[in-house]
Structure 1
Amino acid sequence: MHASTPRAVPEYALQAIRDLIEQEDYRAGDALPSQRDLAERLGVSRTSLREALSSLSALGLVSVQPGKGVFVQAPATQLTASNGFAWPFAAQVSAADTFQLRFALEGFACGLAAVTLSAQELDALQDNVEQMRLELRASDFERASQLDFDFHRRILQASGNQAMLGIVTSSADIFLESQKLPFIRPERALETWKEHTKILRALGRRAKAPAQKAMQQHIRAAALRTGIAFVTLGD
């Protein structure tokens, strides 16, 4: 295995594990080889392997159980989505439609939150952003995706619009899945934190239009990190 830069190694390992699951017909619940064997087989370091497994865990494709092993969590058919990622809700709604809804709904909510959120809510968002930075430094992408979901949920709550919050709450699994997808690329995971920081700055200034724009840019960028482009009224 040859990689042009060290940053490419975890992404190579991620794709290699997905190929292994598909080509050797692993089923949900099956155990993969030990992490030591996987690292040797793929020709990568244990650190790079752990980063790849963390990304796959965040996507719901494998379950890493300390002391027990790594187990396939999703059927092999989910590993062949046309955009290269698993989207388990395809029968209900597409990933592109989900991002498009979030663009419209959360952008508007963020603009509202800029003029309605309390000092306590702003403090909680600041704590969330700092915690995400720490989790990303530790390559815990599953925990980072959960913090991502919480960041967006808190902004929806701060907006005061219960109808919009209700939409997200009633479809929490789908929204959370869309927030896991960008973490498939570990070398770009920090972009989510940077975008959240920009949103937070706009909220801290109580700047309605910049807050809405920053949120919409973030959601569009997150979609593009997974190979998804969607149409907006500005296109």
Structure 2
Amino acid sequence: MSSPVFARIHSSRTADDIIGQIETLILEGILRVGDRLPGERDLAVQFDVSRPILRSALKALEAKGLLVARHGGGTFVADVIGEVFSKPVMELISSHPKAAADYLEYRREIESIAADYAARRATDDDRLLLRGIVDAMQRAYETDDFKREAELDVELHSTIGECAHNIILLHTLRSCYRLLADDVFYNRTLIYGFPGAREKLLQQHLSIAAAILAADPDGARAAVHGHIDFIEQAQKDAARSSAWQETSRLRRSQRELDRP
């Protein structure tokens, strides 16, 4: 069983002590969007504070927009990331080829930095977490669980951001991966449809993780570059294939109309 993330308050046992601790847990990415806090009784015991003090702290964090209470359902970490872009802008950039290219260019550089830092800074616990994700990726691949593969793709990249141990980089990447999770800039289904693409993506993810686990920052950077380069080319190939199929369909339809 994992140990609690909430530590006993040793000082004045005020609401401010609790607020500071929970804010740090959110800022460091230990508590993530949607995580449910323990029940009031258990949480008061973990903090070693009275329940009135705990309630005061939780209400203050709700007022700050960091927590959200659901009637009869508990208290959760709020969506502190939010939408990266407004809906109109999202719709605009999702159909703009240059935006997709710029997104991959951005990912190539930012993820290279994250992987470099992770290779230098990952702790033993970080490495255990990475190995668990990689093992899950292999199982999803072997069972043809496409949905799980896509989820773990995002999870791996997010975890690498956590292993980099840079707060600004962490939250910047989380915003970036919200777009990745929503398939805003490329259709993962089309890419998976290409022969050997799923295997190549798996091997690329394994290579990135292996370099980080081996504390090889140069290798981690190179693996990220290779991964994004492949996605970029696969995206172009998918778009070209889709255009060919549409042209063929129109050509066939026209020929059928021309028949006597």
Shorter-chain TM-score tier? 0.5 to 0.7
Would you say 1:221 and 2:226 are equivalent positions?
Answer: no
Partner of 2:221: 212
1:121 and 2:126 are equivalent in the alignment: yes
The answer to whether the Cα contact below 8 Å between 2:100 and 2:186 also exists between their aligned partners in 1 is no
User: Is the CA contact 1:132–1:144 (under 8 Å) kept in the aligned structure 2?
Assistant: yes
Corresponding residue number in structure 1 for 2:135 = 130
Q: Deviations over 1:103-139 (max 9, x none)?
A: 0000111001101011111111111112111112222
Find the aligned partners of 1:117 and 1:111 in 2 and give their Cα distance: 10
SS at match of 1:139: coil
- Partners of 1:198 and 1:190 lie apart in 2 by 12
Among 92, 99, 104, the residue aligned to 2:104: 99
Quick one: which amino acid aligns to residue 177 of structure 2? Answer: A
Q: Is the counterpart of residue 147 in structure 1 residue 152 in structure 2?
A: yes
- SS in structure 1 opposite 2:221? helix
Partner Cα separation in structure 1 for residue 172 and residue 187 of structure 2: 19
**Structure-2 separation of matches of 1:92 and 1:171:** 17
Letter matched to residue 210 of structure 2: R
Deviation at 1:202, TM superposition (A): 1.2
- Within 5 Å, which residues of 2 pair with 1:154-173? 154-173=159-178
**Gap change, CA 1:155 and 1:180, over 3 Å in 2:** farther
Displacement of 1:225 after TM fit? Answer: 1.8
Change beyond 3 A, Cα 1:202–1:148? same
Alpha-carbon distance in structure 2 between the residues aligned to 1:186 and 1:132:
19
Instruction: Give the Å deviation of 1:153.
Output: 0.4
Q: Distance in 1 between matches of 2:105 and 2:199?
A: 22
Q: 1:163 and 1:184, CA in 2 relative to 1: closer, same or farther beyond 3 A?
A: farther
Provide the secondary structure at the position in 2 that maps to 1:185: coil
* Same amino acid, percent of matched pairs: 20
> Relative contact order: is structure 1 or structure 2 higher (C-alpha 8 Å, sep ≥ 6)?
1
Aligned to 1:192: 201
Give the equivalent residue in structure 1 for 2:113. Answer: 108
Q: TM-score, normalising length from structure 2?
A: 0.49
- Counterparts of 1:8-157 in structure 2 under 5 Å? 89-90=94-95, 94-157=99-162
Contact 1:113 1:159 in 2 (8 A): yes
Task: Measure how far apart 1:173 and its partner are.
Answer: 2.9
Q: Deviations over 1:28-85 (max 9, x none)?
A: xxxxxxxxxxxxxxxxxxxxxxxxxxxxxxxxxxxxxxxxxxxxxxxxxxxxxxxxxx
Secondary structure of 1:206's partner? coil
CA shift digits 1:122-171 (9 cap, x unpaired): 11111111211111222221210110110000001111122222223234
Counterpart of 2:209 in structure 1: which amino acid?
Answer: L
| Cα distance in 1, alignment partners of residues 203 and 166 from structure 2 | 26
Gaps of 5+ in 1: 1-86, 229-235
Let me know the Cα RMSD of the aligned residues.
2.6
Structure 2: runs of 5 or more not aligned: 1-91, 238-260
Q: TM-score, normalised by structure 1?
A: 0.54
> Aligned equivalents of 2:99 and 2:139: distance in 1?
31
